A and B are shown apart, each in its own frame.
Chain A
Amino acid sequence: MVIEWTSIGTFRNDAADRAAREAREGFPRPLVQEEKAQGRAKAPEARVEPRSSDTAADNAMDRYASGEDAAFSDLYDLLAPRLFAFVLRATRNRSEAEDLVQQTMLKMHCARGRFIRGAGVVPWAFSIARRLVIDRARRSKVRGNANDIGDPSEVLAHLAALDLAADEVVHAKLLGKIIQAEIERLSPNNRLAFELVKQDGLTHAEAAKVMGTTVMAVKLRTHRSCAALRAALHKSLDARDA
């Protein structure tokens, strides 16, 4: 199954880093403890400031909406990779994902005149992409069966570049599999909240806009997802230690 490789990559190799640290310290640390150690314990509150790429994307969209046609290229550069990662996770098919990113950007182009000055373009773009993914899934009634999302050797090469011991790499792969399997088991809403916040880097408020719900609901769903992942990791690591 190829998705694990992408997931490890999407997690920005946190799993590998964590595995290496755990190997040094001799025990696994829960994710919350991990976040505290990295000064990310107050992540929801700390992330109210928009990312610089978000601000740049907002500016690009604002310029494009105002009639500056050349700004579309900048907008594409800032949004397309993030949208592609989001859509690819849902479709697991590169060509479908590219098609959906293209449709998303085209729909943004068609509605540019109605873009509200000062509004955030990232949640809007993600909400359009999400809708297109849902529409396509409804039409095909098959969720991700193509699995042509990439070459696992790329992630292996990345892990190798981290200069980890072979058992650490294996451990990182195992953690990636466990995490991915647990993500698959989450309810659709919990999974989406987790993916938008933890993997796509949206703030809770932005994710709430994409999902059409409240910030509190997104926080709750993200928390539940993290708790489920933590429990799964603990369980499997305990089993391994035993």
Chain B
Amino acid sequence: MNHSLPSEDLKLRLLREVESTPSSPRPLESKRTAWLVAIALLASFSVFLVFGGVRLTGRPPSLVLGTVIGTATIAALAIWAMIGRGRAMMGRASSWLTAVAIASPLGLLVWKVLWSAQFENGLDAWERRPGFRCLGLGLAMGALPLAAMLFGRRGTDAVHPGRAGMAIGIGVGLGAATLVDAWCPVAYVPHLLLGHLLPLALLGAVGFWLGRKILAP
């Protein structure tokens, strides 16, 4: 018996167990995940339309367009940096995920404030708009895609499932924030913190919690 090798019967035991444990092959799983994510994105967009879709609300079109393009760019970069895995199962390093998770919402805030400041009354306070509706919209649009993406990656991240879940949550939140920016005319900083950034933090926190349960093998 070679003591540096597993025993002979381990393979037999394992093969028996594998036979009795169902698991879907990749073609089936990919199709299922693609459908799930597509349905979740459609549902999110439906929520956006139900809330009223793109609204100018007295804003110049260039303000809306610039805000949305900037937010979409930050979201796309952050999603690539945090959710993209390339040809690897474990995604990026924890430090990288944490850095992007902190930097991208701050980038969103800075862009929104800087771009809105270019326009007259762009940063005015809206007393009757503390941000709860934006908070609700962001969470409603982010919840389903977060669940679908976590489900699509279940059991695959043994290194940092919590942070990977957080990254997915914030990435999804950034995508939702792009649509929220097309809907919300307010760029008053306290409103942005409550209505536009808090959903990212909450989705990130939920993603972290669920990630540890779902993404860990």
**Which A residues form the contact surface with B (CB < 8 A)?**
6, 9-10, 65-67, 72-73, 76-77, 80-81, 84-85, 88, 94, 97-98, 101-102, 105-120, 123-124, 127-128, 130-131, 149-151, 154, 208-214, 217
* Any A CB within 8 A of the CB of B85: yes
**Interface 1/0s, chain B 1-37, versus A by CB < 8 A?**
0111111001101110110010111111110010000
What are 8 A-B interface contacts by the 8 Å CB criterion?
A: A65-B26, A84-B6, A105-B18, A113-B23, A114-B33, A123-B89, A210-B159, A212-B90
A73 and B90 within 8 A (CB)? no
A101 and B158 within 8 A (CB)? no
Q: Which chain B positions have C-beta within 8 A of A131?
A: 158-159, 216-217
Please give me the residue from chain B that is nearest to A205 by CB atom: B88
B4 and A9 within 8 A (CB)? yes
A66 touching B158 in the complex, CB below 8 Å, given contacts A73-B11, A85-B4, A208-B93 = no
Q: Which chain B positions have C-beta within 8 A of A105?
A: 14, 18
A98 and B7 within 8 A (CB)? yes
A106 and B14 within 8 A (CB)? yes
Q: Which chain B positions have C-beta within 8 A of A88?
A: 4
User: Dominant SS at the B interface?
Assistant: loop
* Any A CB within 8 A of the CB of B152: yes
A119 and B159 within 8 A (CB)? no
A112 touching B23 in the complex, CB below 8 Å, given contacts A9-B4, A102-B10 = yes
B90 and A66 within 8 A (CB)? no
Extra contacts, 10 of them, besides A76-B11, A113-B26, A118-B87 (Cβ < 8 A), are A66-B27, A67-B25, A67-B26, A113-B25, A115-B156, A119-B88, A130-B158, A131-B158, A211-B159, A212-B94
A209 and B159 within 8 A (CB)? yes
Most buried by A among B15, B29, B94, B156: B156
* Any A CB within 8 A of the CB of B118: no
Question: Smallest Cβ distance from B27 to chain A, in angstroms?
Answer: 7
- How many B residues have CB within 8 A of the partner chain? 42
Q: Which chain A positions have C-beta within 8 A of B5?
A: 81, 84
B29 and A114 within 8 A (CB)? yes
B155 and A73 within 8 A (CB)? no
A212 touching B23 in the complex, CB below 8 Å, given contacts A98-B10, A113-B29, A128-B158 = no
A98 touching B93 in the complex, CB below 8 Å, given contacts A106-B21, A111-B156, A112-B25 = no
Question: Smallest Cβ distance from B49 to chain A, in angstroms?
Answer: 32
Q: Which chain A positions have C-beta within 8 A of B217?
A: 107-108, 110-111, 128, 131
Measured in the bound complex, the distance between the Cα atoms of B23 and A161 in whole Å is: 47
Q: Which chain B positions have C-beta within 8 A of A72?
A: 15, 18
Measured in the bound complex, the distance between the Cα atoms of B89 and A160 in whole Å is: 44
Question: Smallest Cβ distance from A73 to chain B, in angstroms?
Answer: 7
Please give me the residue from chain B that is nearest to A9 by CB atom: B4
B90 and A150 within 8 A (CB)? no
A98 and B154 within 8 A (CB)? no
* Any A CB within 8 A of the CB of B95: yes
* Any A CB within 8 A of the CB of B191: no
Taking a contact as CB atoms closer than 8 A, the residue among B3, B10, B93 that contacts A151 in the complex is: B3
* Any A CB within 8 A of the CB of B133: no
Measured in the bound complex, the distance between the Cα atoms of B25 and A9 in whole Å is: 38
Measured in the bound complex, the distance between the Cα atoms of B14 and A72 in whole Å is: 10
Q: Which chain A positions have C-beta within 8 A of B160?
A: 212
Q: Which chain B positions have C-beta within 8 A of A111?
A: 23, 154-156, 217
* Any A CB within 8 A of the CB of B153: yes
Please give me the residue from chain A that is nearest to B90 by CB atom: A209
Q: Which chain A positions have C-beta within 8 A of B156?
A: 111, 114-115, 124
Please give me the residue from chain A that is nearest to B152 by CB atom: A114
Question: Smallest Cβ distance from B37 to chain A, in angstroms?
Answer: 13
